[in-house]
Every structure is written in structure tokens, then in C-alpha cells.
Amino acid sequence: MRSIRPLFLSAILLAAAPAQAYVGLCCGKCGGNMPMNIPGGGIPETFEYRIKVSPMLMHMEGMRDGTTSVDPASLLGMPAMGYYMAVPIEMDMRMLNVAVGYSFSDTFFAGVMFMYKDNRMPMRFNAMMASLTGQPGFTMRSSGPGDTMLMAKYRLFADDPLIPTSQASLFFGLSLPTGSIDERNTTHPVAARRSELLPYGMQLGSGTVDPTVGILYQGSRSPWWWGANAMYTARLYDNRRDWRLGDEARLDLYAMYQFSPHWLAQFQINGHWQDRISGLMDESASGASGRAVPGDPTSPFTTPLWDPDHYGGTRVFATLGLQWQPAPLHVIDLQLGLPLYRNLHGPQLETDYRVMLTWFWELPTARSVRYRGPRTPSRLGF
């Protein structure tokens, strides 16, 4: 494996060799003027491929109901008294996003994004469950492919076709249900609970085909770039387990400043709203029922994670980041997001921070104006 890595890195550099990138990060139409965490950002150069690989960590710790923090221990007790037998303490959600896109013309860009998830959620038991199992809690786990997103962007206007300083575009997305909604609670210390489905937030996908529409604006005046993206995702029907995620809306505002030819700083305000989950998970395939009432001690509702009303809310984050161009056509981006405001349908876990690292690679074809290799006839434009 170690002997393969140098060959792989050499292949990447050789692949970029036939092209000549513009100087620095914020060129007229290239990847360095885009926030890597916002779908549809940037101004793609025509007839070029774009590849993004983005590992991300989101850490949640503590609980919140509305704007008020809640001590998880205060929720533990007997279900008949309105308490829970287990509550989440924290959660680490690790994701790997891989996106590939191509610019078919000056006005149309399309791509696809794949996702892999790894979720870890430590749980704390009430006194009765701790005594019964001989341990204070356990850790819920799930991992595997997430949903797949198809994306397209159509430019409505630009003040200059070559190096625009003001432009607006429409964004279209379609989420495909490639993520599992059948993950089981296999790590529970009580054998009878291991065949149950994991709660909504621990599943890997939505189970539905979900459209997204958006409007994107970007402006620039060297060395500054700025933009605003507004998007809405609709959940139109229940999945095969009789529930659906809540509709989502997001608004992202960003500003980017290039302080050297190969370095750029960025600041974002990221607003996100999501409705509650609709319906109630059907566990009938495992011989249990997800429709038990919360006061039933055999019900999955003995943790707040099983209540569909305990999902969604409004979150506002501030994101700080740096971009670095280590070589022409390559960008490395590091971002840290911290919460400014959280009003949650709770009690539910609150996000403390999120970190994302992105490797971005532009690959010009023979039809691109940035291609500098031999131009041989090809139907595909390579």
C-alpha cells in the first residue's frame, strides 16, 4: 500500500501538467473562488471536470429544548413518570463526500455527490437499566453509504461572459435514497433490543427521493469575493417505513479575501431550518411496532431519539476557513463551523462544532481555454 501512494500522487501531478491555471486562487472562472461546503458555489470554467473529496466531522454534545440547554441526567427516570430509560450524551458524525461535476457550456453545469457516513452516539441509562445491564450505558453505531445527490446549475445572467463580477444562477438537486433506513440497534446490551431499528437520526438515509431548488448569487471585486445561496428541500411522501424527514431551508452568506497569490481567507454565516419528522417509524419487519405509546416501558420511545417531534429546528453557524493552492488546478480547503444560534425541537442533541477538509481538483479537457496539451480530435473533448 505504501508503495502505491507515491505513484498515485505522481499521477495526479502529471494529469494536471497539460493545463495552465490562471495565477492564484481567485481567477476569473475556476475553483478557488468557491466555498467548498456550499453546493453549487463557484464559477465553473467551460468544458472542465471538477472533483471534490471532503471528509467532515460534526460533534454534538449536550441537549437543548428550544433555546434552553437541558441536562441529560434530568431526563432519566421511569417512563410511566414521563422520563426516559436512556438519553444520548454526545454524537460524532463522520462523513466523506465525493463530488464529480462537468461544465457542459457557459451556462450549464451538472454533477453528482456520493456520501459515506459513520455515526457514534454514546447513551446513558437510568438507574433501573444500569442495574439490569451492569453498565452505565452503551454506544449506538451505524455506518455505510448515505444518500446520493444529483446536482445541476443554470446561469441566469452574468455581467461579463468571461470574467463576471456579478452573476446569478438557478440550482436544481435530486437526492436519491441510496442510504439505508434499516439499521439495527445491534450494540444494545439487552439482546431483545438488538433486532430493533435504530432511531431516525442514526439511520443513513431518508428513504425518499427529495428535490432541492435554489437561487445563487456571486459578486467580486478583487481581492474580494462574496455571495448568497438560498435553497429549499421538499419531502413529498413517506418512505416505506411510514415516515419522512422534515422539509429543509438554508441560507448561506459568504465573503472571501485573497491575501496572497496562493492563500485565501473566508467567512460564512450559515442558516438552516428543518421541520419535524412526519409519521412514525414502522418496525413491523422486526416483529416489533414503532407505534407504541411513550409511556409503555417496552416502547422505543424510552429514549427521546424515537420521538419524531424531537427533530428539526433552526440553527445559525459561523464558518471560518482557509484555502491554499499547492499546485495549479488543486485547492486545499479547511473550515471550522461554530454555532451562533440554536432553537431546536427538543430535547435533542445540539451541534458544538463541525470541521471539514476538502481537496478540490480541476481537470480541463481539450475543449477548455485552459488546456495547454496537444489538441487531438475526440468526441468527448479530452
What is the model's pLDDT at position 154?
94
> What percentage of the chain has pLDDT greater than the value 90?
63
265 has which bridge partners?
257, 322
What is the model's pLDDT at position 9?
42
More confident of the two residues 289 and 297: 297
Given a cut of 80, whether residue 316 has pLDDT beyond it is: yes
Under a CB-based contact definition with an 8 Å cutoff, are residues 321 and 333 in contact? yes
Which of 120-124, 177-181, 373-377 bottoms out in mean pLDDT, i.e. has the lowest? 373-377
More confident of the two residues 315 and 16: 315
Given a cut of 90, whether residue 104 has pLDDT beyond it is: yes
Mean per-residue pLDDT, 250-267? 92
What is the model's pLDDT at position 38?
87
What is the model's pLDDT at position 146?
98
Phi, psi torsion values for 357, nearest 5 degrees:
-115, 130
324 has which bridge partners?
263, 332
Given a cut of 80, whether residue 133 has pLDDT beyond it is: yes
* pLDDT tier at 90, thresholds 50, 70, 90: very high
Given a cut of 90, whether residue 295 has pLDDT beyond it is: no
Q: What are the chain's domains?
A: 4-364 (2.40.160.40)
What is the model's pLDDT at position 315?
98
What is the model's pLDDT at position 381?
44
What is the model's pLDDT at position 280?
87
- CA–CA separation, 116 vs 92, rounded Å? 14
Mean per-residue pLDDT, 317-335? 94
pTM for the structure as a whole: 0.86
How many of the other CB atoms lie within 10 Å of CB of 262?
16
Beta strands in the chain (DSSP E): 48-66, 68-70, 86-88, 90-103, 108-125, 137-145, 148-158, 166-176, 210-221, 224-233, 243-244, 248-260, 263-274, 278-279, 313-327, 330-364
Count of CA atoms in the C-beta half-sphere (13 A) of 344: 20
How many of the other CB atoms lie within 10 Å of CB of 186?
13
What is the model's pLDDT at position 292?
45
Given a cut of 60, whether residue 29 has pLDDT beyond it is: no
What is the model's pLDDT at position 15?
42
What is the model's pLDDT at position 179?
97
> What percentage of the chain has pLDDT greater than the value 70?
84
What is the model's pLDDT at position 23?
42
Angle at 268 between CA 330 and CA 214, to 5 degrees: 85
Given a cut of 70, whether residue 347 has pLDDT beyond it is: yes
List, for residues 223-242, the tens digit of each pLDDT value. 888 999 999 999 999 999 99
